[in-house]
Amino acid sequence: MKKHKIFNTGSRLGRPGRVKELDFLSRKDKVILPKLNKQSRKDGSIFYGSFAVNKQLPRAFHRPHSDFDIFSRRQRIHAVEIEQCIDRSTNSDMTHVKRLPHPTGKGNLFRVELRSDETALVDLSPMKKTKTIVKDGVRYETLPEAKKKYHRMLRTGDRFVKPTIDLNRIEEHESVKKFKRRRLF
């Protein structure tokens, strides 16, 4: 019986350097998060989005986050610093900074993403007034503020899936908290 060679054509893994990217993506929290926490402590940046919700909920209510969302006063400078930190840790020019118009129309959004498939790693938005909670010296958007934001997103019809999931997680956590507080006797 003749064995045929299998060629990897068009596969994402077939590109040179993709294995290094996949290795980085599997440990991105360990590479990026210390830099983001240090930066946040230094200048008061605020984490928001699913990562901030995860930080305030018990582990049972967590969902995987694809990127970090941050309100920052100096978005472009921080984006370049994060890009350089990632490139140094991987010993390659794996990421780049992309400037996008902000979805609200106010200012610009700076995104640090992979060069190969444009996977977003960090989104830096202009600083916005929001209620925060401080954990380990890092500021996170509060759960009530996140709930308001998700309700607004659902009303306007911008996005549906992620806000619904996050809103359900927060409400389930609140109902469990209420139930635990109630006396059973």
Domain-wise residue ranges, the chain? 22-141
- 22-141: CATH architecture: 2-Layer Sandwich (3.30)
Q: And the tokens for 74?
A: 């100096």
Residues 6+ apart with CB under 8 A from 171: 147
Identity (one letter) of the amino acid at 14?
G
Residue numbers in the chain where pLDDT is lower than 50 = 1-14
Q: The tokens of 128 are what? A: 């916005």
What pLDDT shows up at residue 7?
A: 36
Question: Is the CB of residue 55 less than 8 Å from the CB of residue 33?
Answer: no
Say what the pLDDT of residue 2 is.
44
- Return the bridge partners of 113, or none: 96, 120
Take residue 77 and report the two structure tokens written for it: 């400078």
pLDDT of residue 13: 45
Closest by CA position to 114, among listed 139, 145, 137, 87? 87
Tokens of 131: 């209620």
Instruction: Count other C-beta atoms under 10 Å from residue 19's C-beta.
Output: 10
The whole-model pTM stands at 0.80
Q: Of 29, 124, 23, 136, nearest to 80 (Cα)?
A: 124
